[in-house]
Amino acid sequence: MKISDHGTAQEAWEWINEYLATQEKEIVANGGTTYGAVMISYDHYMTINRIWVDPEFDFGYMFGYRIQKWSKLISNYVDLNSLDLVKSQVVVAEAKKKNNYNISMKFQNAHDSGKGCLLALTFSRRITRDNPILILHTRSSEVTKRLLFDFLLMQRIAEYVYGNKVSASLVWYCPNVYLSGEAFSMYNNHRDIEQLMKDYEAEGIFKDRILEIVKKFKTVDPKTVTYKVNLRAVKRLQGIDSKHLYAKDCIIYKNKELPEEIISPSQKRTYNRRRRRKIEE
């Protein structure tokens, strides 16, 4: 198991991206592997002191995300009624000043296209710590485009449950993490990848593949790129159709009391989805 400790969620995201991109020898020696332009590493356990993503981090500039991407993430994984139930349990425990509790919730997978990557989340107080800890279990994680978005969701959930004045920590376990060279090329908008490889003195075939992809995507004519995922990366590296989606704009809308006729889970999801659309409009 690869165990690592980090100050913030954003620092953890940066570390795991750079680790997978540059440490091929160590990863393979520990049972990981490369598959084409993908690096796969197994059994990662992270402790993160503060669940925090820079509010000015621009998911639109980095990955071409729109607010609909955030709304879909919430609607797929988070049942707001279940979250409110968990929140009420936590509030009661906090009011009683309990210094030791573990309250869990399962993530749903509401969309047919959902991959069920987020599994469960536990809200924990420990006698030996002053602040609460969220313990996140995931099935698998693509670390460049998705992991920071997932960490931001954990931050918003923590704020939703504990309020903005409480600083929560995060423990994250994932049995399968992977980095795609095509997706990682967009990391170049965050840190220069060529310089990154020099700083880490990276060696191996995977490093060469990444540098080839970055070089190609910076210069290729977008009209000749037919694969949608690659085209997204090309546009980001070339600054085409750049729109903004800052982390501070991605929030969880507080659940409102549902009408009496809304009973089934599907009705609740439809109702909440329509309400979010009205808010976004």
pLDDT in tens, 251-280: 997 666 656 565 565 666 677 677 667 655
Residue 279 within any structural domain of the chain? no
Q: What dihedral angle (degrees, nearest 10) is formed by the CA atoms of 18, 23, 29, 31?
A: 20
- What is residue 256's predicted lDDT score, i.e. its pLDDT? 60
Token representation of residue 199? 């700083």
Alpha carbon distances (Å) from 183 to 195, 232, 233, 237, 272 = 18, 9, 7, 11, 31
- Least confident range from 71-80, 201-210, 258-267: namely 258-267
Residue 54 belongs to domain spanning: 2-253
Residue 258 within any structural domain of the chain? no
One-letter-per-residue 3-state SS of 7-41: EEHHHHHHHHHHHHHHCHHHHHHCCCEEECCEEEE
* Domains: count for the chain: 1
Percent of the chain with pLDDT over 70: 90
How far is Cα 20 from Cα 6, in angstroms, rounded to an integer?
A: 16
- What is residue 115's predicted lDDT score, i.e. its pLDDT? 81
How far is Cα 125 from Cα 92, in angstroms, rounded to an integer?
A: 13
Alpha carbon distances (Å) from 46 to 1, 115, 156, 175, 263 = 10, 22, 19, 12, 39
Q: What's the CATH number where 62 sits? A: 3.30.572
- What is residue 101's predicted lDDT score, i.e. its pLDDT? 98
Asked whether 177 and 27 are in contact (CB, 8 A), the reply is: no
Residue 201 within any structural domain of the chain? yes
Burial, 27: exposed, middle or buried (Cβ in 10 Å; 0-12, 13-18, 19+)?
buried
Percent of the chain with pLDDT over 90: 84
Residue 266 within any structural domain of the chain? no
Residue 176 within any structural domain of the chain? yes
